[in-house]
């Protein structure tokens, strides 16, 4: 028997234009049908993803097979086919088969991997009430589009933390819809807690989250058995705000966020496990502890993300992150640039992101800059000249 409420947005029959009943008691309202239609239409978006970037003054590859932290290639070119990088090198050596591709002339500018924003809360927490799916999707898409125009080609949206499983599910669904609408990559993380509320980690909610998200963000201390339940659901685990000394006790997680006061034992444990630490621009702007220098000196991978949140600090793009990490976080320009590209990719468990080389995603930013230090001088994002996401040229 069909429900008298939409199974997706939970609105009752009296509040929707039309409610269609389906098998096993599932119902869907006209508004959610519209969202589903937009998802399908976006997935069929035509795009040319074959092109060659030429006239690159400095190419930052982050390829560990090349010398230096950033694996720089001078006077370079990059070829992209079917959304993937297929050739990188000095332009004078580019194979003839790539010269016929549509060209993106860079005019001597620096080219870097697309920014990977590994921690945002673009949907908000939903603590003020259940969102209207289409409105929330439109607003979140606009926020993601602003970040894309500032060079962010991968965005992680941590949705939830409302205290209400139905609201959390709606927000996760909204984040998935945003991913279908955007030409960039959108990862979805279930945020189990916000500053205002915590959603109970039940078996049913974990199962739901596993259908909509690839990761889960959970604050410490973690209740017994929760991590194993999430592992069985194939969710990557991001532990946030762990107390000093807790990481050296052998907790197995995939990333750590908001690490305020790490002990030497904590950092040694992280360095030995290859677990990256995510620090955000929002925390730096708020004056919260930001141990970026300490993390790097311990040999731990660092990801710098925006932490952008419409209910708190909104940050569009990671150019500001590079500048602030240098000015106030004690990082060099090269370290900060690595942290907003390759560091973010490691935090999301996405080896194809954050670098430029054969097999990498065709995500690149042409910066109106000659070297990484120029990004520090203009942190407002105006250094972004061109953005390429999956080989697709994005208007900026």
Contact 255, 216 (CB under 8 A): no
> 18 with 93, same domain?
no
Rounded CA separation 163/127 (Å): 7
- Per-residue pLDDT of 212-257, as tens digits, reads 999 999 998 888 889 899 999 999 999 999 988 888 877 789 999 9
Nearest Cα to 119, choosing from 152, 81, 142, 86?
152
Task: Tell me if 153 is assigned to some domain.
Answer: yes
Same domain assignment for residues 286 and 316: yes
* Whether residues 106 and 242 fall in one domain: no
- pTM of the full structure: 0.86
Residue 210: its pLDDT value, please? Answer: 95
93 and 173 assigned to the same domain: no
Please, what sign has the CA dihedral across residues 383, 50, 78, 67? Answer: positive
Averaged pLDDT for residues 310-317: 87
| Structure confidence at residue 142 (pLDDT) | 95
> What's the chain's length in residues?
396
- Helix (H) or strand (E) run with residue 58 in it: strand 51-59
Percentage of the chain exceeding pLDDT 90: 70
Output helix, strand, coil percentages for the chain, rounded to the nearest 5: 30, 25, 45
Does 23 share its domain with 95? no
Q: Which H or E element spans position 204? A: helix 203-212
Tokens representing 29? 């309202």
- The verdict on residue 271 lying in a domain is yes
To the nearest 10°, the Cα dihedral for 363, 365, 370, 376? -110
Extract the tokens encoding 137: 């999707």
Domain shared by 78 and 200, yes or no: no
For residues 119-138, one letter each, b for 16 or more C-beta atoms within 10 angstroms of the residue's C-beta and e for the rest, the string is: bbbbbbbbeeebbebbebbe
Q: Is residue 182 part of a domain?
A: yes
Q: Which two tokens stand for residue 317?
A: 């793009």
The pLDDT of residue 321 is 85
The answer to whether residues 215 and 189 touch, using CB atoms and an 8 Å cutoff, is yes
**Is residue 140 located within the same domain as residue 250?**
yes
Q: Residue 43: is its pLDDT beyond 50?
A: no
pLDDT band at 38 (very low <50, low <70, confident <90, very high): low
Nearest CA-CA partner of 114 in 327, 377, 348: 348
Residue 199 and residue 68 share a domain = no
* Separation in Å, CA 15 to CA 23, 27, 29, 130, 236: 22, 14, 10, 14, 37
Residues 99 and 206 in one domain: no
Same domain, 167 and 313: yes
Say if residue 39's pLDDT is above 70: no
Residue 307's contacts (CB-CB under 8 Å, 6 or more residues apart) are 119, 120, 121, 280, 281, 282, 283, 313, 315
In this predicted model, which residue has the larger pLDDT, 380 or 395?
A: 395
Q: What are phi and psi of 109, to 5 degrees?
A: -75, 165
Q: What pLDDT sits at residue 377?
A: 79
% of residues, the chain, pLDDT over 70: 93
Question: What per-residue confidence (pLDDT) applies to 97?
Answer: 92
Using CA atoms, how far residue 41 sits from 19, 34, 38, 184, 197, in Å, is 22, 11, 5, 16, 35
233: in domain: yes
2 within some domain: no
Q: Quote the CA–CA distance of 239 and 322 in Å, as a whole number.
A: 24
Residue 240 belongs to domain spanning: 115-353
Question: How confident is the model at residue 303, as a pLDDT?
Answer: 97
Which contacts (CB < 8 Å, 24+ apart) does range 262-267 have?
Answer: 262/291, 262/294, 262/295, 262/298, 264/298, 266/242, 267/294, 267/295, 267/298, 267/300
Same domain for 199 and 253?
yes
Number of domains making up the chain: 3
Mean pLDDT confidence for 287-297: 95
75 domain-assigned: yes
| Average pLDDT value for residue range 267-272 | 92
Tell me if 6 is assigned to some domain: no
pLDDT in the model for residue 58: 98
Q: Is the same domain home to 299 and 319?
A: yes
- Domain assignment of residue 211, yes or no: yes
Structure confidence by residue, pLDDT tens digits, 91-105 = 999 999 998 999 999
Residue 106's CATH number: 2.30.40.10
Which tens digits make up the pLDDT trace of 153-193? Answer: 999 999 999 999 999 999 999 999 999 999 999 999 999 99
Handedness of CA 39, 125, 343, 314 (dihedral sign): positive
Pairing of strands 277-280, 302-305: parallel
CATH of the domain at 132: 3.20.20.140
């Amino acid at each position: 028997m069909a429900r008298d409420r939409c199974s997706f947005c939970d609105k009752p029959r009296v509040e929707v234009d039309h409610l269609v009943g389906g098998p096993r008691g599932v119902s869907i309202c006209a508004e959610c049908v519209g969202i589903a239609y937009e998802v399908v239409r976006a997935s069929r978006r035509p795009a040319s993803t074959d092109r060659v970037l030429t006239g690159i003054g400095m190419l930052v590859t982050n390829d560990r097979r090349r010398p230096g932290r950033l694996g720089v290639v001078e006077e370079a070119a990059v070829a992209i086919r079917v959304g993937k990088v297929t050739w990188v090198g000095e332009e004078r050596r580019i194979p003839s088969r790539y010269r016929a591709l549509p060209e993106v002339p860079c005019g001597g500018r620096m080219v870097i991997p697309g920014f990977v924003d590994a921690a945002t809360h673009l949907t908000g927490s939903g603590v003020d009430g259940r969102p209207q799916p289409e409105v929330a999707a439109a607003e979140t898409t606009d926020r993601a589009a602003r970040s894309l125009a500032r060079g962010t080609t991968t965005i992680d949206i941590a949705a939830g933390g409302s205290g209400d499983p139905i609201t959390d599910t709606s927000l996760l669904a909204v984040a998935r819809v945003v991913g279908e609408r955007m030409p960039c990559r959108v990862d979805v993380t279930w945020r189990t807690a916000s500053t205002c509320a915590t959603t109970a980690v039940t078996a049913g909610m974990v199962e739901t989250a596993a259908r909509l998200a690839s990761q889960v963000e959970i604050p410490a201390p973690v209740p017994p058995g929760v991590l194993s339940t999430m592992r069985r659901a194939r969710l990557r685990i991001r532990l946030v705000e762990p107390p000093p000394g807790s990481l050296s006790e052998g907790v197995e997680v995939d990333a750590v966020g908001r690490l305020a006061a790490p002990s030497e034992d904590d950092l040694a444990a992280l360095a030995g496990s290859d677990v990256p630490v995510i620090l955000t621009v929002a925390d730096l702007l708020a004056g919260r502890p930001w141990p970026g220098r300490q993390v790097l000196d311990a040999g731990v991978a660092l990801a710098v993300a925006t932490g952008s949140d419409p209910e708190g600090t909104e940050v569009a793009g990671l150019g500001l992150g590079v500048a602030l990490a240098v000015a106030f976080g004690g990082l060099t320009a090269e370290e900060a640039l690595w942290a907003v590209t390759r560091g973010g990719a490691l935090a999301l468990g996405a080896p194809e992101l954050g670098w430029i080389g054969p097999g990498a995603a065709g995500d690149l930013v042409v910066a109106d800059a000659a070297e990484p230090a120029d990004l520090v001088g203009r942190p407002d994002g105006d250094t972004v000249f061109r953005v390429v996401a999956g080989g697709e040229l994005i208007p900026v």
